Amino acid sequence: MNIALSGGKVITPFRVLNDGIVVIENGKITNLGKTSEIKVPKDCKIYDIKGKTVCPGFVDLLDHGGAGYGFADDSVESIEKISKYLLEHGLTTVLASLYAKPEKLLLKDLRRISDYIIGHPDSNIRGIHVEGPYLNKKLKGAMNGNYLWKPSVESWNKMWEASRGLIRIMTIAPELPGAMDVIRAAAKQGVILSIGHSMATYDELENAIDNGVAHVTHMFNAMEPFHHRHPGIILGALLHNELKIELIADTLHVHPAVMEFLLKLKGASGIILVSDSIRAGGMHEGEYEFADQKIYMKGKRAYLPDGTLAGSTLTLNMAVKNMVETAGAKITEAVRMASLNGAKVLSLESRKGIIAVGKDADLVVMDDKYDIQMTVLGGEIVFQKK
């Protein structure tokens, strides 16, 4: 399908182009500019998006599910339902996230999702983020402590084989015995190692960086608080520019003032907005399940019976809104944190995360309330609000 999105505000995401037009042919962006200056090919269907904003499709590196389904469900239908739900919220590139389970079950999850990705190359599900299973029990968050594994290269190799090489990110606690061997093995295979659910000291974090860690999972959450005499992950993440940090910008996991603080210290290039969404995302209040544990959702907050936050119900369009409206981010910065930065982590920035000629036509159209009006994936309109 050849289409043109005409008359809207285009976030490239480095600048704002008012009254812009994006021309899409054969899945690629073929022209971009002012509507008065661009001649649209005759075979392009023109969509008038005046009063709306078009930006690169969102990239979510940490997403466990939504719409009542989870990637850890023993069902291909669940993957399809989540994929559709995420497209309706502007997610054109997603890592299916898995939590710790007993070995046999986690390997089965990895095989099922990798089979789906290989069989659906045009899907928005592009890889896997394993949040664990090598996590510190003392900071397990909503993870099931009974399902955490002791780090070993042998068990890692089983996971890697089961995933068909589609594990793109792994969250790990580097202070655990054997974890550094796993980090080195995974780094050699091109996996992005992310520190999380960890009690690592500052020195342990620096050693982890030297051995391949380049990422921090959901900043401030499941890590020890900042201490001026006993620095740990938080200080390391703020000081080391080689570490990119994930931020759940729902205003619940991190206070808006702290979100603003992060933006000032790390800059828009150092923050990646993630949802950490679970099956309760997009659903009504009530009782749900996560890692064989009962969770509750009230308002937009999902939590265990003891009050521990259990993932989120966030979508990245709302994360963009929160960064702009509560944390003082420019719209270009917020969109960059929700699109290009994640694409860079996955080494996709030459094709995704930027609106420019030659890039993949993965685009999102939002109204002035940041609600998704249209999602374009590979040049095809995969969602349009009625």
Residues 293, 100: Cα–Cα separation, whole Å = 12
Q: What is the pLDDT of residue 307?
A: 82
Give whole-number Cα distances, 65 to 17, 99, 127, in Å: 34, 11, 14
Q: Is the peptide bond before 305 cis (omega within 30 degrees of 0)?
A: no
Segment of 148-157, 221-230, 274-283 carrying the highest mean pLDDT? 148-157
Which band of pLDDT confidence, cut at 50, 70 and 90, is reported for residue 382? very high
Residues 65, 84: Cα–Cα separation, whole Å = 11
Percentage of residues in the chain having pLDDT higher than 70: 100
CB 243 within 8 A of CB 237: yes
Which amino acid, residue 302? A
Q: What is the pLDDT of residue 386?
A: 86
Q: What is the pLDDT of residue 298?
A: 82
Name 127's Cβ contacts closer than 8 Å, sequence gap at least 6.
95, 96, 117, 166, 167, 168, 169, 346
Q: What is the pLDDT of residue 284?
A: 67
Q: For the beta carbon of residue 118, count every other beta carbon within 10 angstroms.
A: 10
Q: What is the pLDDT of residue 174?
A: 98
Sign of the Cα torsion 308, 323, 21, 32 reads negative
Segment 215-249, tens digit of pLDDT: 999 999 999 888 899 999 999 999 999 999 999 99
Give whole-number Cα distances, 334 to 59, 222, 274, 307, 317, in Å: 12, 24, 12, 29, 10
Q: Please choose, from the candidates 68, 64, 73, the residue with its C-alpha nearest in 3D space to the C-alpha of residue 286.
A: 68
Q: What is the pLDDT of residue 231?
A: 93
Q: What is the pLDDT of residue 286?
A: 80
Residue with tokens 């996971």: 159
Residues 333, 15: Cα–Cα separation, whole Å = 9
DSSP string covering 142-200, please? TS-GGGPPPP-HHHHHHHHHHTTT-EEEEEE-TTSTTHHHHHHHHHHTTPEEEE-SB--
Which amino acid, residue 40? V
Name 188's Cβ contacts closer than 8 Å, sequence gap at least 6.
212
Residue 299: pLDDT over 80 = no
CB 296 within 8 A of CB 302: yes
Q: What is the pLDDT of residue 89?
A: 97
Assigned CATH class of 58-345: alpha beta
Percentage of residues in the chain having pLDDT higher than 90: 87
Out of 40-44, 203-207, 294-298, least confident range: 294-298
Write down the pTM of the prediction.
0.95
Q: Please choose, from the candidates 9, 96, 31, 8, the residue with its C-alpha nearest in 3D space to the C-alpha of residue 275.
A: 96
Sign of the Cα torsion 280, 345, 251, 290 reads positive
Residues 172, 180: Cα–Cα separation, whole Å = 10
Residues 22, 130: Cα–Cα separation, whole Å = 36
Segment 92-103, tens digit of pLDDT: 999 999 999 999
Residue 250: pLDDT over 90 = yes
Q: What is the pLDDT of residue 282?
A: 77
The SS3 call for residue 158 is: helix
Segment 12-30, tens digit of pLDDT: 999 999 999 999 999 999 9
Residue 157: pLDDT over 80 = yes
Average pLDDT, integer, range 80-102: 97
Catalytic position from the list 63, 109, 250, 276: 276
The pLDDT mean for the chain works out to 95
What fold, for 3-55+353-384?
Urease, subunit C; domain 1 (2.30.40)
CB 8 within 8 A of CB 52: yes
Q: For the beta carbon of residue 31, count every other beta carbon within 10 angstroms.
A: 17
What residue ranges do the domains of the chain occupy?
3-55+353-384, 58-345
Give whole-number Cα distances, 242 to 181, 247, 361, in Å: 21, 16, 29
Residues 119, 335: Cα–Cα separation, whole Å = 30
Residues 122, 379: Cα–Cα separation, whole Å = 11
CB 149 within 8 A of CB 162: no
Average pLDDT, integer, range 144-148: 93
Q: What is the pLDDT of residue 295?
A: 80
Sign of the Cα torsion 258, 264, 265, 266 reads positive
Q: What is the pLDDT of residue 57?
A: 98
Residue 276 catalytic? yes
CB 186 within 8 A of CB 144: no
Segment 177-215, tens digit of pLDDT: 999 999 999 999 999 999 999 999 999 999 999 999 999
Which tokens in the block code for residue 6?
A: 């005409």
Which band of pLDDT confidence, cut at 50, 70 and 90, is reported for residue 281? confident
